[in-house]
């Protein structure tokens, strides 16, 4: 049975050039609020990254690059940015953490770190968090991969309700 796991690990790591390995994205919706009723949004101050991840000068740059990607994704879903009076507030977060034991996870040690990006959505009138998305990936701490950021945002927002489904970009 262990050989199947080793074989699958070998296949997964050999495909690393096509799809970044060890990436995950999740989203959580509040059962008490219908995000689909919202029409407008604005951006708020950044949130702190998840526990185990720290804010670095690089993660601050990631937050800066993340904003237009999230803006485009929400506009594509039919929402309108309104800085004066919005239905929901979007807060972004980014952080970097070390891989626990990179040599144990791969046959060859790597200089990769673990990156986190998060999107938190709050109801503008109550301040209640109504939606949360997180993405984690192995990253090169010396270089920001904009395509990886976009992929993370698209995966996180895949289940985020669209206002106008005719404008929602089809994902490959």
pLDDT at residue number 100: 58
CATH number of the CATH domain containing 149? 3.30.160.670
Mean pLDDT of 149-170: 78
Give domain status of residue 14, yes or no: no
Q: Alpha-carbon distance 22 to 41, whole Å?
A: 31
Q: Does residue 56 belong to any structural domain of this protein?
A: yes
On whether residue 75 sits in a domain, the answer given is yes
Across the chain, what does the average pLDDT equal?
A: 77
Q: Which residues of 134-158 are buried (b: 16+ CB within 10 A; e: fewer)?
A: bbbbbbeeeebbeebbbbbbbbbbe
Mean pLDDT within 151-171: 74
Range of the domain at 69: 20-159
Residue 69 has pLDDT above 90, yes or no: yes
The tally of CA atoms less than 13 A away on the side-chain side of residue 147 is: 3
Which residue did the predictor score with more confidence, 75 or 31? 75
How many domains, in total, are found in the chain? 1
Is residue 40 in a domain?
A: yes
Question: Does 41 score more than 90 pLDDT?
Answer: yes
What pLDDT is recorded for position 164? Answer: 57
**Distance in angstroms (rounded) separating the CA atoms of residues 30 and 126:** 13
In a domain, 105, yes or no: yes
Q: For a pLDDT cut of 70, what percent of the chain falls above it?
A: 69
Asked if 94 contacts 63 with a C-beta cutoff of 8 angstroms, the reply is yes
Q: Strands of 38-87 (E only): list them.
A: 40-43, 80-81
pLDDT tens-place string over residues 92-129: 999 998 765 544 454 445 567 889 999 999 999 999 99
3-state class of 135 per DSSP?
strand
Q: Is residue 153 part of a domain?
A: yes
Candidates 96, 91, 83; CA nearest to 138 is 96
The pLDDT of 34-61, averaged and rounded, is 88
Q: What would the mean pLDDT of 151-163 be, rounded to a whole number? A: 90
Task: Establish if 128 belongs to a structural domain.
Answer: yes
pLDDT of residue 159: 87
Closest CA to 146 of 74, 64, 82, 80: 64
Residue 8 lies in a domain: no
């Amino acid at each position: 049975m262990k050989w199947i796991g080793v074989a699958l690990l070998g296949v997964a790591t050999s495909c690393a050039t096509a799809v970044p390995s060890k990436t995950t994205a999740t989203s959580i919706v509040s059962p008490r609020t219908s995000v689909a009723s919202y029409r407008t949004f604005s951006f708020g101050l950044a949130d702190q990254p998840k526990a185990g991840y720290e804010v670095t000068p690089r993660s601050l740059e990631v937050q800066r690059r993340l904003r237009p990607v999230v803006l485009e994704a929400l506009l594509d879903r039919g929402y309108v940015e309104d800085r004066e009076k919005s239905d929901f507030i979007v807060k972004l977060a980014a952080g970097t953490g070390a891989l626990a034991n990179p040599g144990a996870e791969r046959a060859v040690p790597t200089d990769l770190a673990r990156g986190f990006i998060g999107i938190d959505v709050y109801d503008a009138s109550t301040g209640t968090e109504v939606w949360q998305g997180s993405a984690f990936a192995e990253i090169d701490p010396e270089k920001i991969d904009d395509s990886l950021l976009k992929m993370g945002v698209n995966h996180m927002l895949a289940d985020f309700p669209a206002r106008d489904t005719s404008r929602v970009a089809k994902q490959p």
